[in-house]
Amino acid sequence: KEADANPSCAGMCRVLGDLMRTMPILSIMLGDEAALLEQKELLSNWYHFLVTRLLYSNPTVKPIDLHFYAQSSLDMFLGGESSPEPLDNILMAAFEFDIHQVIKECSIALSNWWFVAHLTDLLDHCRLLQSHNLYFGSNMREFLLLEYASGLFAHHSLWQLGVDYFDYCPELGRVSLELHIERIPLNTEQKALKVLRICEQRQMTEQVKSICKILAMKAVRNNRLGSALSWSIRAKDAAFATLVSDRFLRDYCERGCFSDLDLIDNLGSAMMLSDRLTFL
Assess whether pLDDT exceeds 90 at residue 148.
yes
Give pLDDT, residue 223: 75
Q: How confident is the model at residue 93 (pLDDT cuts 50, 70, 90)?
A: very high
Per-residue confidence (pLDDT) for residue 226, from 0 to 100 = 67
Confidence of residue 94 (pLDDT cuts 50, 70, 90): very high
State the Cα–Cα distance between residues 102 and 93, nearest whole angstrom: 5
The residue ranges of every structural domain in the chain are 1-30, 40-111, 112-184, 205-279
- Mean pLDDT over residues 43-57, rounded? 85
Average of per-residue pLDDT values in the chain:
79
Nearest to 247 by CA among 276, 269, 271: 276
Q: Is the pLDDT of residue 73 over 50?
A: yes
226-233: average pLDDT: 74
Separation of alpha carbons 222 and 236, rounded Å: 21
How far is residue 65's CA from residue 176's CA, in Å, rounded to a whole number? Answer: 44
Q: What is the mean pLDDT of residues 193-199?
A: 92
pLDDT > 70? residue 100: yes
Can you tell me the mean pLDDT for 197-224? 86
Q: How confident is the model at residue 111 (pLDDT cuts 50, 70, 90)?
A: confident
Better pLDDT: 206 or 279: 206
- State if pTM tops 0.85: no
Question: Is the pLDDT assigned to residue 162 strictly greater than 70?
Answer: yes
Higher-scoring residue by pLDDT: 12, 265: 12
When pLDDT is cut at 50, 70 and 90, the band that residue 198 belongs to is very high
Q: Where are the alpha helices (DSSP H) in 58-204?
A: 66-78, 86-95, 99-109, 114-125, 140-153, 159-167, 173-181, 189-201
Contact 53, 74 (CB under 8 A): no
Q: What is the mean pLDDT of residues 236-253?
A: 68
165 Cβ contact list (under 8 Å, min separation 6): 117, 145, 146, 148, 149, 152, 173
Q: With contact defined as beta carbons under 8 Å apart, do 240 and 275 qualify?
A: no
Nearest by Cα to 197 from 184, 242, 169:
184
Confidence of residue 188 (pLDDT cuts 50, 70, 90): confident
Read off the pLDDT band of 3 (50, 70, 90).
Answer: very low
Q: Could you count the other beta carbons within 10 Å of the beta carbon of residue 118?
A: 13
Per-residue pLDDT at 9 exceeds 80: no
Task: Give 10's pLDDT tier (boundaries 50, 70, 90).
Answer: low
Distance between CA atoms of 255 and 260, rounded to whole angstroms? 13
